[in-house]
Amino acid sequence: MCGIVGILSTTKKDTAIYIYDALTILQHRGQDAAGIVTSHKGRFYMRKSNGLVRNAFRSKHMAGLLGDMGIGHVRYPTAGSSSGAEAQPFYVNSPYGIAFAHNGNLTNTKKLEQELFEQDLRHINTNSDSEILLNVFAGELGKLEKQRINEKDIFTSITQVHKRVRGAYAAVGMIPGYGIFGFRDPNGIRPLILGKRTTNGGTKYMLASESVALTALGYEITRDITPGEAIVIDRQGNIFTQQCASASKYSPCIFEFVYFARPDSVIDNISVYKSRLRMGEKLAAKIQQEWSNEKIDVVIPIPDTSRVSALQLAQKLKVKYSEGLIKNRYIARTFIMPGQKQRKKSVRQKLSTIELEFKGKNVLLVDDSIVRGTTSQQIVQMARDAGAKKVFFASAAPAVRYPNVYGIDMASNKEFIAHNKNTDEVCQAIGADKLIYQNLDDLLWCVQQGNANITEFDCSCFNGKYVTGDIDKNYLQDIEDLRSDDAKQQNDTNASSELICNDVE
């Protein structure tokens, strides 16, 4: 999962500042690396680096990012390594010069990489599938052999991309002297939204992963890019759109609404906040039905993502709600920490307890989900250390039992605490007195209420059903080998000795 943004301004040349601010707002989508590429007088100006947005850019970097259009990216690695060489955006010199950023994960990278080498005669320099996607697009655009391009040429190339590429991808790109473009995979797994901001100085257009990046910077939401659709915005501010996939359908990732997206975002006309309120309501109803004999003294959310669900749950149960766990704002999200040891270390640094809210009480802890169980296990123990009489645990999502192959770091069955375990066994593993999961049908209802026109969601990490229809046991074994914690640590060790030559200071 990553965050992407593209901005074009018809007059002002402060684009880099707006991209920086947008990436800061999207920081929750990726904390491994950040990058910005702008265009001025036909040239690219780039800065990218490992780390948070605030650490990757200094005043000297921003001053050098010239131009009235640009794209940006915050990275959360699911494949390859955490090497700075794989920070985005990427760019190619031919044809025309193209800068590119991508959110998602391709599922046929091996085939594409071979095709690019043998048929397109294009070299791939990293392990990133984003570089592959860029080169597929660039190769198709180059086949047109035109000195000057227009929006129809971009649409033609994206149409060919959809024919060749499988998986999840929302992308933004930029061609110097021409404009910016964006597109979304035929299933709409990853989000992309368009907005504009009109001032006395001119009009700015933005493409971003989440609506909050638009609204926080004063942009007016125009609409979501639909599955399989492409959009082109030229230097004059003309907007062109076209459906480029022969078959498209809405199948957005439900985990966006459970965990990844900010609650103040609206994705595909579905309020993330209201979805999480409904998750709390449904979970409360299940608790009332199945735990009628249990006395709960206080409901405590595990910050931050579960707050909305926990608050609504407490109201429905008519139980006190308390912020008994305090979060250290300067620790990254532990779910996307690269290794199990680092995740374990970070939980205690990230959270501390208010003992008064635990001591002598039956406490219900609420989290958005349970993936590896590392965080849950330690927080249950923290609650006991703070004097809790009983510790109950509720998950606003069903049990995670299957890998996610579309851009979320859930690759290895063996790393899921619910793998080959029932609810009671997971409860015992995390050390709770009782554990309850959201039903999948209830979760689907909670999200679908926001947009009745969307009838299907990607729920693969809960039910093992993959909407692209191209996932088999061999593929799952391949990604487990590539993306397990052990494999990532080895990749990072190898990457540390590489010569990194594409970071422009």
DSSP annotation of 225 reads P
Average pLDDT over residues 395-408: 95
Residue 501 bears catalytic tag: no
Phi, psi (degrees; rounded to nearest 5) at 168: -115, 130
Average pLDDT over residues 392-403: 96
Q: What are the pLDDT digits (tens) for 314-356?
A: 999 999 999 999 998 777 555 545 555 555 566 878 899 999 9
Q: What are the pLDDT digits (tens) for 95-133?
A: 999 999 999 999 999 999 999 999 989 999 999 999 999
- Strand (E) or helix (H) holding 8: strand 3-9
User: Of all residues in the chain, what percent carry a pLDDT higher than 70?
Assistant: 91
Q: Which two tokens stand for residue 174?
A: 């930029």
Would you call the peptide bond into 252 cis, given omega within 30 degrees of 0 as the criterion? no
Does the structure show a pLDDT above 80 at 480? Answer: yes
> What is the average pLDDT score of the chain?
91
DSSP annotation of 167 reads E
Report the first-to-last Cα separation within the chain, whole angstroms.
Answer: 26
Q: What is the pLDDT of residue 250?
A: 96
From start to end of 51-111, where are the E strands? 69-75, 90-92, 98-106
Angle made by CA atoms 52, 99, 199, in degrees to the nearest 5: 75
Q: What is the pLDDT of residue 373?
A: 93
Does the structure show a pLDDT above 50 at 498? Answer: no
Query: Which among 11, 12, 58 has a CA at the least distance from the CA of 34?
Result: 58
Does the structure show a pLDDT above 70 at 235? Answer: yes
Q: How many CA atoms lie within 13 A of 318 on its CB side?
A: 1
**Whole-angstrom distance, CA of residue 350 vs CA of residue 346:** 6
Q: Which amino acid type is present at position 41?
A: K
Instruction: Check residues 192 and 485 and name the one with the higher pLDDT.
Output: 192
> Is the Cβ–Cβ distance between 77 and 71 less than 8 Å?
no
**Whole-angstrom distance, CA of residue 94 vs CA of residue 387:** 64
Confidence of residue 78 (pLDDT cuts 50, 70, 90): low
User: Of all residues in the chain, what percent carry a pLDDT higher than 90?
Assistant: 82
Q: What is the pLDDT of residue 202?
A: 86
Confidence of residue 490 (pLDDT cuts 50, 70, 90): low
**Reduced 3-state DSSP string for 101-139:** EEEEEECCHHHHHHHHHHCCCCCCCCCCHHHHHHHHHHH
Q: What is the pLDDT of residue 330?
A: 73
Give the ranges where 291-327 is alpha helix by DSSP (H). Answer: 307-317
Q: What are the pLDDT digits (tens) for 145-188?
A: 999 999 999 999 999 999 999 999 999 999 999 999 999 999 99
**Whole-angstrom distance, CA of residue 423 vs CA of residue 499:** 47
**Whole-angstrom distance, CA of residue 356 vs CA of residue 413:** 38
Q: What is the pLDDT of residue 487?
A: 57
- Among the listed residues 2, 427, 446, 461, the single catalytic one is 2
Instruction: Check residues 255 and 493 and name the one with the higher pLDDT.
Output: 255
Q: What are the pLDDT digits (tens) for 14-36?
A: 899 999 999 999 999 999 999 99
Sign of CA dihedral 16, 18, 21, 25: negative
CA distances from 100 to 134, 137, 178, 396, 444 (A): 6, 10, 14, 35, 33
Q: What are the pLDDT digits (tens) for 429-477?
A: 999 999 999 999 999 999 999 999 999 999 999 999 999 999 999 999 9
